[in-house]
Amino acid sequence: MAEITAASVKELRERTGAGMMDCKKALAENGGEMEASVDWLRAKGLAAAAKKAGRTAAEGLVGVAVAGTKGAMVEVNSETDFVAKNEQFQAFVAEVARLALDAGGEVEVLKAAAYSSGGTVEEALTNNIAKIGENQSLRRTAVLEVPEGAVVSYVHNAVVPGLGKIGVLVALESAASADALGSLGKQLAMHIAAANPLALDADALDADLLAREKAIATEKANESGKPANIVEKMVEGTIAKFRKENALLSQLFVIDGKTPVADVVAQASKDAGSPITLKAFERFQLGEGIAKAESDFAAEVAAAAGVKNDEPVG
């Protein structure tokens, strides 16, 4: 059984938005296991879907670059937002994004790439750390390419062109004009930035994720006290809705709020007089999945529980 500390209560509260006492109970009911406690709170209706991606404290920049029918994206992290405003850091991220076009989506390959001022990307990063005086890391990269068509990039609330906190790449395969693909690609990228789809279509959704959602839905439905056949239909409906809302092609287009993205692409194909296929997308949100830095809230929880931050919560 994992130890239940004030820090673990804090982390669970940040991830779920549930109350402190509910978080403490969830951890107690699940042996201190974090993921099981998240699911327990959701099943009890005490938490929304996991909020971790939008509540992290990691800073830095996401950078994008496009050349022809290929696009690349990188995430470079720093300790504070102050560094993200540093021109040297911005120039580094912009160059690394361009170099990522030839790195095949592999971080280690990108780190070994030659940097313009000499040495490798990894050596340039080490030099930046020494000059700026703050730890930095090249966290991830992605590359999309189509044989014909366009890869369109978008950065939400860009601090400078091509750099910001949410980046998107959209790969469109088509013989349609560059203008038609550019317009559609930008609209789709803006949708992806806002709606955060988990996969291109429902069949591509992660099987483990679906199993987890089904388990949560089943527990919720069982608590309704309805007959087993009704519970089964409730679960099926919940999972069908989850698949529809989290797959890009079935999501409702954010620009009009009523048209499925698949229909938006189909209409664009008709307007362009040439088939357009949405082949793939990538979305990076700065810091998603990185544990949030400790804050004074941990001390508040500890004070309420009458323990030190690293002591078990009784």
> What string of DSSP letters covers 145-202?
E-SSEEEEEEEET-SBTTEESEEEEEEEEESS-HHHHHHHHHHHHHHHHHH--SBSSG
Note the pLDDT of residue 182.
Answer: 97
Q: Which whole number is the average pLDDT over 177-196?
A: 97
Is residue 216 in some structural domain? no
The pLDDT tens digits for 221-248 are: 988 888 889 989 999 999 999 999 999 9
Note the pLDDT of residue 2.
Answer: 66
The pLDDT tens digits for 272-287 are: 999 999 999 999 999 8
Q: Sheet with 136-145: list strands edge to edge.
A: 136-145, 70-78, 59-67, 163-164
* Domain co-membership, 135 together with 61: yes
Is residue 268 in some structural domain? no
* pLDDT exceeds cutoff 50 at 157: yes
The rounded percent of the chain whose pLDDT value lies above 70 is: 89
Does 314 or 12 have the greater pLDDT score?
12
CB 199 within 8 A of CB 246: yes
Note the pLDDT of residue 300.
Answer: 40
User: Average pLDDT over the chain, rounded to whole?
Assistant: 88
Spatial separation of the C-alpha atoms in residues 2 and 32, rounded to whole Å: 5
Q: Give the lowest-confidence range in 118-122, 206-210, 224-228.
A: 224-228
Note the pTM of the prediction, 2 decimals. Answer: 0.76
The pLDDT tens digits for 1-23 are: 567 888 888 888 878 878 888 88
The neighbour count for residue 314, using CB atoms within 10 Å, is 9
Does 77 or 56 have the greater pLDDT score?
77
* pLDDT exceeds cutoff 70 at 87: yes
DSSP string for residues in 152-166: EEEEET-SBTTEESE
Is residue 196 in some structural domain? no
Is residue 182 in some structural domain? no
**Domains contained in the chain, number:** 2
Spatial separation of the C-alpha atoms in residues 195 and 244, rounded to whole Å: 12
Is residue 37 in some structural domain? yes
Q: How far is CA 104 from the centre of its chain?
A: 20
Note the pLDDT of residue 158.
Answer: 95
Q: Give the lowest-confidence range in 10-14, 26-30, 123-127, 272-276.
A: 10-14
Identify the band that residue 49 occupies on the pLDDT scale cut at 50, 70 and 90.
very low
- Residue 136 domain boundaries: 57-176+275-285
* Domain co-membership, 9 together with 123: no
User: What letter represents residue 305's amino acid?
Assistant: A
* Domain co-membership, 76 together with 88: yes
Spatial separation of the C-alpha atoms in residues 32 and 47, rounded to whole Å: 17
* Domain co-membership, 134 together with 279: yes
Report the CATH number that the domain containing residue 38 is assigned in CATH.
Answer: 1.10.8.10
* pLDDT exceeds cutoff 60 at 52: no
Spatial separation of the C-alpha atoms in residues 292 and 56, rounded to whole Å: 5
Write the CB contacts of 62 (distance below 8 Å, at least 6 apart in sequence): 73, 74, 75, 155, 163, 164, 165, 166, 167, 284, 285, 286
CB 171 within 8 A of CB 277: no
Q: Which whole number is the average pLDDT over 85-102?
A: 96
SS3 253: coil
Is residue 193 in some structural domain? no
